[in-house]
Amino acid sequence: LTFRARQPDDLAIAALWALAAFCAIALAPLAPMLAQLAPACPLHALTGLACPTCGATRAALCLLEGRWSAALAINPLATVALVAGMVGGLVAPVWVIAGAPIPEVAHRRALRLLIVALLASNWIYLVARGV
């Protein structure tokens, strides 16, 4: 992980991230009803196998009810991503406005391998658990 100076797009990305986080907070009371609108997983419907994002909606609903362990059990990667998304949306604008250095992954190959490993292990977990 390396750090770089602020670039023109950084503030806009941080502001949009914050916008999404605040929209999510505003929608929280309606989440159970809106969850009905989430499209059914075509892979699960066709094969009975979970796709890498299966259970993400249920994990989000569990998080809103404060059931952290249940959310982690349903889809660990989606739960971590949702929490990181919310926390990042609140922290990123303050971080950028404060002029703090922006973290960046220098080793692209390592990042690629890490992403693939995380997605694959989470997917194996979902399929094995029958989410």
Q: Could you tell me which residues are beta bridge partners of residue 102? A: 4
Structure-token pair, residue 82: 């949702």
Question: What whole-number distance in Å separates Cα of residue 29 and Cα of residue 109?
Answer: 41
- Beta carbon nearer to other proteins, 17 or 62: 17
User: Which residues would be at the binding site for other proteins (CB under 8 A)?
Assistant: 8-9, 12-13, 15-17, 19-20, 23-24, 26-27, 30, 33-34, 36-37, 40, 43, 46-47, 49, 51-52, 85, 108, 111-112, 115-116, 123, 127
Residue 106 C-beta-side C-alpha neighbours within 13 Å? 4
Looking at residue 124, its amino acid is I
Least separation in angstroms between CB 72 and other proteins:
20
**What is the nearest approach in angstroms of other proteins to the Cβ of residue 9?**
4
